[in-house]
């Protein structure tokens, strides 16, 4: 099939975009899961959608294509472009504009007969005018009714169709802002596309944009939660190239603004526990039946929240909860260090244990999740204890390795 700029299935491009944007490491020959032709097509599509941000580097090993952008300098998430590249048939586009045009030409309800007559009249203006049969038009109207574009009203035996209302009362700044920070922000971007006015008054720091690729998955999961339904997740582990399907009750989406990942917290009946799943590893979501377990499991998750550092509900040790304690020192003119501890801790307590010394204590399901944060206090940690000895040993081994990497010698002064 000849190359097309538009595509039917979003998942075709989802992995490529992530690879190009997050990693930007692979060469053409390394994309082995699909054919080289498929790689060429997807790369060409992305160049067409994201031209200014696509770059390549030629080395002795080959050509690396990557997406390079500083999200602090872009006012709109460029990855949303991919969501605006859905393919369609010639008939789809023709019917879309003619039907909406007719319905909006007069503020009244239209019968199917009136619509067909008007449609035929408009099409007759073309040299090779095409015709649509009534069943095709009815099908399109039904589809648009489900989308909310068309309203249907039955008066006696007659059905009348009218257009949905014109977008009103929206604010370009609201759309600019929430299309970047709210879940499924791409929907705000769809609204912005119809806007004549340009806002662009916002910039975003620490802005992870890759979540855009998972918008359809997130949308379906959010809908499932509103309806308290279970879902079937089709998951893929990219490292192990392993696919699996799992029936779960989705309970909450948890986003990290420090790692760029979003997780689904879900009750898994087959394991009888609440677990987390990375949204970017969910290929598709199939809606299931309403679950009687939703409310009780949501409540259970709520009770677990004070002990979740990240999203892990189970540590590597034997205990259900693991204790971690860290004492740090700071100078009199460094009150912001304690403030940092207070504002950045996600659970646990902070207490003053002496002049210029304070201690953070927490009981969490998985203390290893807190290690990256603990390391940000390196230079100040006077004491550290993990109830899980494996985690403590790993922390201390890593620290020794860091000393070796940067040639830090044993200190003479332990004051």
Partner 1 sequence: MIFREIYSVYYHTVAKILQAALSHPLSAEELQEMVEQNAFGESVLHLLPALKEEKWQVLKSDGTTPLSKAPYLPLTTVEKQWLKAIEQDPRLQLFGDISFDFPDVKPLFRPEDYLIFDRYQDGDPYEDAAYQAHFRLILDAIRNQYPLEVELKTRRGNQTKMVLLPKALEYSEKDDKFRLLGEGNRFGNTINLARIQQCRRYEKPWEAKKEEKEAPQRAYVVFTLMDRRKALERVMLHFAHFEKQAERLGESRYRVKVWYEVEDETELLIRLLSFGPLVQVKEPERMVSLLRQRLQQQRSCGL
Residues 357-376 that bind partner 1 (CB under 8 A): 371-373, 375-376
Task: Work out how close the CB of 245 gets to partner 1 at its nearest, in angstroms, rounded to a whole number.
Answer: 20
Contacts of 136 (CB under 8 A, 6+ apart): 91, 95
Q: How far apart are the first and last CA of the chain?
A: 73
DSSP letters along 21-51, please?
Answer: III---BGGG--SS-HHHHHHHHHHHHHHHG
Measured distance CA(228)–CA(68) in Å, rounded: 40
User: How many beta carbons lie within 10 A of that of residue 19, not counting itself?
Assistant: 19
Q: Does 198 bind partner 1 (CB under 8 A)?
A: no
Rounded distance between C-alpha atoms, residue 326 and residue 328, angstroms: 7
241 binds partner 1 (CB under 8 A): no
276-305 binders of partner 1 (CB under 8 A): 298
Residue 71 within binding range of partner 1, rule CB under 8 A: yes
The span from the CA of 280 to the CA of 15, in Å, is 9
Q: Which residues contact 164 (CB under 8 A, 6 or more apart)?
A: 148, 149, 150, 151
Which H/E stretch holds residue 75?
Answer: none
Q: How far apart are CA 86 and CA 4, in angstroms?
A: 11
**Total of residues contacting partner 1 (CB under 8 A):** 145
- Shortest distance (Å) from residue 75 CB to partner 1: 8
Cα 75 from Cα 55, distance rounded (Å): 20
Out of 17, 64, 110, 249, point to the residue binding partner 1 (CB under 8 A).
64
Contact between 104 and partner 1 by CB under 8 A: the answer reads yes
Minimum CB distance to partner 1, residue 167 (Å): 5
Interface with partner 1 in residues 128-147 (CB under 8 A)? 128-130, 146-147
Interior angle at CA 205, CA 201 and CA 211, nearest 5: 100
Residues 6+ apart with CB under 8 A from 130: 91, 94, 123
Q: Applying CB under 8 A, which of residues 156, 169, 303, 389 lies at the interface with partner 1? A: 169
Q: According to CB under 8 A, which one of 17, 186, 362, 391 is a site residue for partner 1?
A: 186
> Is 339 near partner 1 (CB under 8 A)?
yes
Part in contact with partner 1 (CB under 8 A); list of ranges 31-39, 41-49, 288-296, 316-324: 41-49
Among 28, 34, 36, 44, binds partner 1 (CB under 8 A): 44
If binding is defined by CB under 8 A, does position 69 make contact with partner 1?
Answer: yes
DSSP 116: H
Is the Cβ of residue 157 or residue 411 nearer to partner 1 in the bound state?
411
- What the block records as the tokens of 284 is 């598709």
Query: Cβ 394 to partner 1, closest distance in Å?
Result: 9
Q: With H, G, I as helix, E, B as strand and everything else as coil, classify residue 307.
A: helix
Nearer of residues 40 and 401 to partner 1, judged by Cβ: 401
- The candidate with the shortest Cα–Cα distance to 282, out of 244, 227, 226, 252, is 244
Is 21 one of the binding residues for partner 1 (CB under 8 A)?
A: yes
Question: Minimal distance in Å, beta carbon 275 to partner 1?
Answer: 15
- 219 near partner 1, judged by CB under 8 A: yes
Q: How far is the CB of 352 from partner 1 (least distance, A)?
A: 18
Region binding partner 1 by CB under 8 A among candidate stretches 172-180, 266-274, 316-324, 359-367: 172-180
Shortest reach from residue 363's CB to partner 1, in Å? 17
Q: Which is nearer to partner 1, 89 or 157 (CB)?
A: 89
Residue 100 interacts with partner 1 (CB under 8 A): yes or no: yes
Pick from 12, 96, 300, 338: which binds partner 1 (CB under 8 A)?
96
Of 4, 184, 175, the closest CA to residue 85 belongs to 4
The reply to whether 334 sits near partner 1 by the rule CB under 8 A is no
405 φ, ψ (degrees, to nearest 5): -60, -35
Q: Which is nearer to partner 1, 70 or 332 (CB)?
A: 70
């Amino acid at each position: 099939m000849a190359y097309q700029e538009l595509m039917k299935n979003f998942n075709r491009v989802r992995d490529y975009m992530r690879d190009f944007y997050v990693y930007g490491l692979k060469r053409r020959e390394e994309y082995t899961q699909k054919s080289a032709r498929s790689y060429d097509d997807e790369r060409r599509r992305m160049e067409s959608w994201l031209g200014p941000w696509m770059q390549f580097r030629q080395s002795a090993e080959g050509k690396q294509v990557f997406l390079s952008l500083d999200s602090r300098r872009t006012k709109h998430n460029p990855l949303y472009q991919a969501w605006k590249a859905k393919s369609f048939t010639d008939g789809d586009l023709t019917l879309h504009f003619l039907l909406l045009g007719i319905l909006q030409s007069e503020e009244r309800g239209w019968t199917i007969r009136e619509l067909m007559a008007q449609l035929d009249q408009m099409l007759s203006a073309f040299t090779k005018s095409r015709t649509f049969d009534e069943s095709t038009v009815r099908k399109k109207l039904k589809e648009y009714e489900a989308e909310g574009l068309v309203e249907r009203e039955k008066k006696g035996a007659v059905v009348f169709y009218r257009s949905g209302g014109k977008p009103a009362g929206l604010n370009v700044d609201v759309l600019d802002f929430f299309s970047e920070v709210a879940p499924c922000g791409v929907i705000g971007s769809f609204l912005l596309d119809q806007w004549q006015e340009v806002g662009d008054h916002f910039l975003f720091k620490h802005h992870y944009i890759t979540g855009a690729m998972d918008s359809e998955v997130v949308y379906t999961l959010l809908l499932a939660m509103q309806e308290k339904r279970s879902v079937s997740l089709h998951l893929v582990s990219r490292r192990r190239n392993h696919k699996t399907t799992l029936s779960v009750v989705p309970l909450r989406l948890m986003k990290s603004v420090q790692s760029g990942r979003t997780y689904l917290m879900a009750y898994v009946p087959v394991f009888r526990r609440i677990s987390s799943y990375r949204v970017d590893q969910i290929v598709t979501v199939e809606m299931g039946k309403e679950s009687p377990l939703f409310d009780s499991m949501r409540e259970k998750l709520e009770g677990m929240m004070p002990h979740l550092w990240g999203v892990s509900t189970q540590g590597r040790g034997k205990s259900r909860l693991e204790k971690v304690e860290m004492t740090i020192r700071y100078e009199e003119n460094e009150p912001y260090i304690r403030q940092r501890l207070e504002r950045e801790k996600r659970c646990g307590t902070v207490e003053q244990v002496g002049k210029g010394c304070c201690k953070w204590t927490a009981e969490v399901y998985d203390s290893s999740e807190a290690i990256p944060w603990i390391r940000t206090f390196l230079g100040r940690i006077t004491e550290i204890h993990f109830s899980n000895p494996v985690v403590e040993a790993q922390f201390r081994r890593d620290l020794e390795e860091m000393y070796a990497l940067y040639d830090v010698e044993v200190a003479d002064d332990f004051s």
